[in-house]
Amino acid sequence: MEQLFEKTKQRMEKCITSLNNDFATIRAGRANPAVLNKVNVDYYGVPTQINQMAQVSVSEATNLVITPWDVTTLKAIEKAINESDIGINPQNDGKCIRLIFPKLTEERRKEISKDISKRGEEAKIAVRAVRHDSMDELKKMKKNGDITEDDLDDGEEEIQKITDKYIKECDDTAKAKKEEIMSV
């Protein structure tokens, strides 16, 4: 049963990691290199992440500077950013690309906050799905005679405790991201 608990924790931890990665790509009015994580550049026919072909740095709180190691890739990087959904127009000066993050309006902050709530809820649904799978596994173990009725009850209680911990972590992560977005 301990193996089942560990497997449950690992799967729920992946839900939290996915949520954190998802939140990292949300623009908060501050320059954050993570917004480029989902942008792939066609580099000689191979989709390549920008951070693998250029140095990405924050020059000011609202400026991101992308300096490619191969200057000939500037146009390809600029095109990939324009085609992505990050909503920022790149400025190419021939040596590097600058992304200037505009200040978020109150309306946009509220929109993003709603999106964060939705993504947090989706993560909680994923955690609950893991709980459901683990509970089914316990019931299967009981049916096969591997554990007793008391073991089943104890196991269900332990899985619920694990689930509650990760649900709270989802809520806390979403709350922290909302606070970051709503702060001016």
**Taking the mean position of all CA atoms in its chain, how far away is CA 161?**
24
pLDDT tens for the chain, 184 residues long, are 889 999 999 999 999 999 988 887 776 667 778 888 888 898 888 888 888 889 998 888 788 899 999 888 898 998 888 888 777 888 988 889 998 887 778 888 888 899 999 999 999 999 999 999 999 999 999 999 898 999 999 999 999 999 999 999 999 999 999 988 887 5
For Cα atoms 180, 174, 182, give the angle at the middle one, nearest 5 degrees.
25
Beta bridge partners of 60: 63
All domains of the chain in start order, with CATH:
2-24+105-182 (1.10.132.20), 33-100 (3.30.1360.40)
Residue 44 CB neighbour total at 10 angstroms: 7
Computed on alpha carbons and rounded to an integer, the radius of gyration of the chain in Å comes to 22
If we measure between CA atoms, which residue out of 92, 99, 87 comes closest to residue 57?
99
